[in-house]
Structure 1
């Protein structure tokens, strides 16, 4: 399918001022990546004195319009199911918001202080290579077992990278929580499946083909899958290569061309309330 027929639900907006601010603050190699990529997106209107407020402005830009919000899997080591975020999720639920959750580097908190440290177990590898997948799983497990998702049925969650490392451990965390810990949260495989079907979408950025996709499909129907490129952290050449693998993988997995078209664009149009 040509790129102009796809809706990319996972791309990173990196305006020049933000790239400069990251480099100037010592974050020129985010999460162990070699550098901050150059994005072809540009600011259409010049704005002055932005560097001092880059974080605030970026949040506004990311969260503007469509009542959609972008959150990271943890905030300085505090995961999204923590009681500290209860009021935030209550408001998101009231707004019937769409919430995109992107993985980030995990942190550890130091007892007796308010400081945190980034945790990179194997620093020779960039964290997006595999650590991001685990932090996605941590965040979602925490959201389920804290009762946040059960308490917020009107939030629509968008999860990248085909759910990261979550699908293979769903049965384990559900069964462990109920059979061993006696959790009061209503959680089992059927609850997860019903919740995914009701209020979750998953983008296919990364490397879900030919194998990872099948673990996700045990829990999520194809109408909740979205195209994603992860550009420009995945460079243009890589986007093309992965698009070819996705096309072959979708044809192998779904014989119905309408299902494949929906994954490329139709599901995103429904998510974003775009008239088809």
Structure 2
């Protein structure tokens, strides 16, 4: 497709920014493997990562800048304290990469959810000290989805900052029953993204916090579900009667590849 301006004239595209760019460190991989994530989300194994190789891949693909984030399954492996330590370590490491290559990288901070208080403290540190561009949240954390009531202080804090939130899929809590031996990124990721975005909409998080910018990864099935969610949400007084614009056309959510 050729980019055009409003008058239909050919327009040169701007620089390409990759919002979905992961990095890993040995200590993150070690923590995940100790928790049993030897094949993360059903993938063959953990990759090796370096900033140099990442920039080489960016150059080959014509990508000007990449926003680094920690991949699924995130930083919480069952222990709240260790999750806080690992989130801080990964965020500081990402900030270090950005400091070394400010024209090529930014980063989305990891948060030690489901501990909302600790997550909010990490938001403050990531923004005010480390210079994060936003945060990454998983579609669910231990089966808790983003509309979880105890996370409301976190959403208030993020909204006050007009935060950018990369909503990244992870394995659903029942993946053993539904995914079998298939990589969860194949089918489960798009559907868990749909669950998470629907939960954000039906719980009222997006309506209460209109200054958020939420970008779902693997959001390609959301437009096909919008009218269905709209229809069924009106069948219960406990649910807000949404329009399709509320669900995916309002500017709160737009699918990101």
TM class by smaller structure: 0.5 to 0.7
Deviation at 1:165, TM superposition (A): 2.6
Instruction: Map 1:1-276 onto structure 2 (within 5 A).
Output: 5-41=15-51, 53-59=85-91, 61=94, 62-63=108-109, 64=126, 65-107=131-173, 119-161=176-218, 163-178=219-234, 180-183=235-238, 185-195=240-250, 198-204=251-257
- List runs of 5+ in structure 1 lacking aligned partners: 43-49, 109-117, 205-276
Separation in 1 of the partners of 2:167 and 2:239?
25
SS in 2 for 1:199: coil
8 Å Cα contact 1:18-1:54 kept in structure 2: yes
Contact 1:15 1:41 in 2 (8 A): no
Does the 8 A contact of 1:105 with 1:120 survive in 2?
Answer: no
Distance 1:16 1:149, change over 3 A: same
Cα offset, 1:66, TM superposition: 4.0
Q: 1:38 deviation in Å?
A: 1.5
TM-score scaled to structure 2, two decimals?
A: 0.63
CA distance in 1, matches of 2:90, 2:233: 38
73 and 193 in structure 1: CA distance in 2 versus 1, 3 angstrom threshold: closer
CA apart distance, 1:172? 0.6
- Taking a change above 3 Å as real, the CA distance of residues 119 and 86 of structure 1, as seen in their structure-2 partners, is farther
Change (3 A) 1:11 1:33: same
In the alignment, structure 2 segments of 5+ residues that lack a partner are 3-13, 53-81, 95-107, 110-125
**Inter-CA distance 17–41: structure 2 relative to 1 (3 Å threshold):** farther
- Classify 1:58/1:120 alpha carbon distance in 2 versus 1 (closer, same or farther; 3 Å): farther
Greater relative contact order (Cα < 8 A, sep 6+): 1
Q: CA deviation at 1:193?
A: 4.8
Task: Name the Cα RMSD after superposition.
Answer: 2.8
Q: Deviations over 1:66-96 (max 9, x none)?
A: 4511100111001001212111111111111
Distance 1:168 1:203, change over 3 A: same
Q: How many residues align?
A: 182
Structure 1 residues 191 and 18: alpha-carbon distance in aligned structure 2, compared to 1, 3 A threshold: closer
Distance in 1 separating the partners of 2:253 and 2:170: 20
* Change over 3 Å in CA distance of 1:5–1:98 after alignment to 2: closer
Take 1:83 and 1:51, find their aligned partners in 2: how far apart are those partners? 21
